[in-house]
Amino acid sequence: MSDAVAPAEVHGQAVHHPKLQHHFETMEQQKEASTLGMWVFLLTEVLFFGGLFMAYLLYRVWYFDAFAEASRDLDIQLGTFNTVVLIGSSLTMALGVRAAQTDERKKTVFWLVATIILGLVFLVVKGFEYEHKFAVGHVPGPNFHSDSPYAAQEQIFFSLYFTMTGLHALHMVVGVGLMSVITWMAAKGRFSARYYTPVEMAGLYWHFVDLVWIYLFPLLYLVERHN
């Protein structure tokens, strides 16, 4: 059912780039594989967070009053500030990818460093929020403290709050680490207009993590703030 073509013929058209791994035929094939792989990975991430969103949905319908009550205890100003910070970091990330595409090394590094800084700002603010929750006894478990009549179910809200934002923060930490490596590689001149896949992939990841927060913010902070 098959015959063979000499490797020379297959490779005839392909220009050998030092970043081309041996098991791919062309740079295009290699890039397509990375891109598809990244999207499939993000799909698994959607389902990973999806389980938590499912639990959130169920309990929010069941215990709406408790959720509204507990949500008012979150710091809306810090939450809004962090939302703006993250949206800003998505912009700097996109500019970084653009700079990598156009082969501007200095610009790439600048925008990537900006992204890292914004990511760290987010994490520090989140840390202060957590600290406050510990101080006032809003961490579910034996030390949980609340005077509202829904104290038991508020614990469900805060369990979800800590699990969801904690997992998101963990993704941010991974993202900052990833971004640091990419920045270092960019500074060393590893990328070019012909090969910038890692920057683009890291960008996809970063945007995804931002997007998760775009959902988390209204779901957790804005349950019933209009009155």
Q: Which residues lie closer than 8 Å to 78 by C-beta, 6 or more apart? A: 125, 128, 129
Question: Within 178-197, which residues bind other proteins (CB under 8 A)?
Answer: none
What is the C-alpha to C-alpha distance for residues 102 and 148, in angstroms, rounded to an integer? 57
Question: Within 28-47, which residues bind other proteins (CB under 8 A)?
Answer: 29, 32-33, 36-37, 40-41, 43-45, 47
- Whether residue 162 contacts residue 134, with contact meaning beta carbons closer than 8 Å, is answered with no
What is the C-alpha to C-alpha distance for residues 180 and 20, in angstroms, rounded to an integer? 23
* One residue of 59, 64, 110, 130 binding other proteins per CB under 8 A: 59
In the complex, minimum distance from the CB of residue 106 to other proteins, in angstroms, rounded to a whole number: 30
From residue 116 to residue 155, the character string flagging contacts with other proteins as x (rule: CB under 8 A) and all else as - is -----------------------xxxx---------xx-x
As given in the structure block, the two tokens for residue 68 are 């509204």
Using rule CB under 8 A, residue 87 touches other proteins: no
In the complex, minimum distance from the CB of residue 142 to other proteins, in angstroms, rounded to a whole number: 6
Q: What distances in angstroms separate CA 66 from CA 35, 218, 223, one per listed residue?
A: 43, 16, 10
**Segment contacting other proteins by CB under 8 A, of 86-94, 115-123, 126-134, 160-168:** 160-168
What is the C-alpha to C-alpha distance for residues 116 and 65, in angstroms, rounded to an integer? 38
* One residue of 17, 58, 194, 214 binding other proteins per CB under 8 A: 58
* One residue of 55, 68, 91, 222 binding other proteins per CB under 8 A: 55
Cβ proximity to other proteins: between 9 and 226 the closer is: 9
* Three-class DSSP category at 167: helix
Q: How far is CA 191 from the centre of its chain?
A: 23
Q: What distances in angstroms separate CA 220 from CA 19, 94, 115, 137, 163, one per listed residue?
A: 44, 27, 25, 18, 12
| Sites of contact with other proteins (CB under 8 A) | 1-7, 10, 21-23, 25, 29, 32-33, 36-37, 40-41, 43-45, 47-52, 54-55, 58-59, 62-63, 66, 139-142, 152-153, 155-156, 159-160, 162-163, 167
